[in-house]
Amino acid sequence: MKYDEIMVRYGELSTKGHNKKSFIDRLGSNVRKALHQYDQVKIHPNQDRLHVELNGTDAEPVMERLKQVFGIQNFSPSLRVEKDFDSVVEAAVAIFKEQVQGPTTFKVETKRADHKFPMGTFEMNKQLGGALLKAFPTDLSVDVHHPDITLRVEIRLNGIYLTSAKILGAGGLPVGTAGKGMMMLSGGIDSPVAAYLALKRGVSLEMVHFYSPPYTSEQALAKAKELTGKLAKYSGSIKFIQVPFTEIQETVKEKVPEGYLMTVQRRLMLRLACALAQKRAGLAVFNGESLGQVASQTMESMLAIEDVTTMPVLRPVLSYDKNEIIKIAEDIDTYDLSILPYEDCCTVFTPPSPKTKPNLKRARSYEARLDVEGLMQRALDGIEITEIHAGDEFLNQNQDVFAELL
C-alpha cells in the first residue's frame, strides 16, 4: 500500500497544560532529526496531532524510525483521496483487500474537520460501511464494540484521509523536555537500560565513562562508546565523556583499606560526575544501580556514596529485577554488546569482599587520606569528548585485536 501520510498521536503530551506548546515543538524537532535522511518527508506538528507527509517516500522505514521517538503514543499510516464519496469507497476497498482474509468484523469512524463537506459523520459511517459490506459480502460483518478493523476516515480541508492501523509508539516524553542529566555509563547491562529509561522520560543525556588504562583495554572503552551509539537511536547524537580514572584507582588502592576500596572509588566517581554536571548545565546524575543487586547497591552503600553531593542521583532501574533489566536490554539491542567480556574499570579494582554496609564516617575518613581536589582536577583535565551518532560502531575498528581476544 502506498501511503501518503503518517498521523502521529501524542502520549502524555496532551496532559501537559501550558507546557504543551514547547513539548510539541520539541517532538517536532526530534521527529525531524529522526527522519532527516528522508528529503521528501515534511513534518507538521499541530496542536492535537503531528502529521508526517510522505511525498512518495516508502512508509515502512519511516514508521520504524518513528517507533524510536519518545513522546509518541501511536501512529497510523494513512491514504489521502479526493473529497468525493466514490474515491473514499475505492480507497477503503483497497485497504480492506489487504486485510480481510476470512471472516472479519469492522466499523467505520469518521471525523469531520471540514464542515462544508456535504456528508455528515453519521452518514459517512453508514454509507461507507454499506459499500464495504457490498464489496466483501461473505467475509465482512459490522461490530461496533470490538471490531477486528476500525477504519478511520478524516474529512479535512485538503482531502479525505483513511487509515485502518494504529501502531504503538515508544510512549514517554520527548527527549530534551526534562532537562539534561549526566549518565554514568559502564559497559555493563544495567546502565544502558537506565539510560534508555531516562531518555524515555524526556531527559537529554551526556554519557560519563570512567576508564583505567592499562588495566582496562581499548575494547572496554570502544564497547561503552558503541553502547552509546545504540542509545543515540532514541535521542539523536549523544556526547560521550571519557574520564581517565587510573590515577584515582591506583591511589585509592594504595591508601584505603580493602573493604572500603569500592566505596571510596564510587565516591570519587560520583564527585566527578557531579563536577561535570555542574560545568555542563546538567541537573542530575543518573546511574544503573538496582537496589540490593550487588555490594555497592545496598541503601547503606548509597548513603555512604551519595554523601559527596546534594545533586539528585537518579536510578531508573532501582526497583527492577535483573531479568526485567535483561529483557529491556534485549529489546533495545544493548544486551549482546553488554555481555562482551571486557574488563570494566571497577571490576579490575573490586576487592573480593567489599563492605556491603559501609560506615559513612569511615568512608569519609578514608577518603580524607587522599588529595581529592588534585586527583579530581587531573582527571577532569584529561577528559575527552566524542559526539556519537545512532549506530556508530567502534569495536570493529579494532577487529584484529578483537579477534585475538575471542
Q: Could you tell me which residues are annotated as the binding site for ATP?
A: 184-185, 209-210, 266, 288, 297
Our finding on whether 191 is near ligand ATP (CB under 6 A) is yes
Part of the chain binding ligand ATP (CB under 6 A), chosen from 151-159, 167-175, 282-290, 391-399: 282-290
Q: Which positions ≥6 away from 350 have C-beta within 8 Å?
A: 261, 262
The residue among 125, 3, 131, 135 whose CA lies nearest residue 59 is 3
Helical H segments across 71-141, by residue range: 85-99, 121-135
Q: Which stretch binds ligand ATP (CB under 6 A): 63-71, 95-103, 189-197, 373-381?
A: 189-197
Task: Please identify which residue in 71, 288, 316, 354 interacts with ligand ATP, judged by CB under 6 A.
Answer: 288
Our finding on whether 189 is near ligand ATP (CB under 6 A) is: yes
| Residue 289 contacts ligand ATP per CB under 6 A | yes
Known binding-site residues equal 184-185, 209-210, 266, 288, 297
Beta carbon nearer to ligand ATP, 75 or 240: 240
Confirm if 9 and 152 have CB atoms less than 8 A apart. Answer: no
Among 5, 154, 344, 367, binds ligand ATP (CB under 6 A): 344
345 belongs to the binding site for ligand ATP (CB under 6 A) = yes
Residues sharing a CB contact under 8 Å with residue 160, sequence separation 6 or more, in sequence order = 80, 81, 82, 83, 87, 88, 153, 154
Q: Using CB atoms, what's the residue nearest to ligand ATP?
A: 188
* Length reported for the chain: 406
Residue 262 Cβ vs ligand ATP, minimum distance, rounded to whole Å:
8
Q: Does 184 bind ligand ATP (CB under 6 A)?
A: yes
Which segment (83-91, 233-241, 290-298, 360-368) binds ligand ATP by CB under 6 A?
290-298
**Rounded distance, CA 335 to CA 133, Å?**
48
Q: Which residues on neighbouring strands pair with residue 284, listed in sequence order? A: 181
Please give the single-letter amino acid code of residue 32: R
Long-range pairs for 129-133: beta carbons < 8 A, 24 or more residues apart: 131/89, 131/92, 131/93, 132/89, 132/92, 132/93, 132/96, 132/106, 132/108
Residue 121 or 347 with smaller CB distance to ligand ATP:
347
Footprint of ligand ATP (CB under 6 A): 184-186, 188-191, 208-210, 287-289, 293-294, 296, 344-346
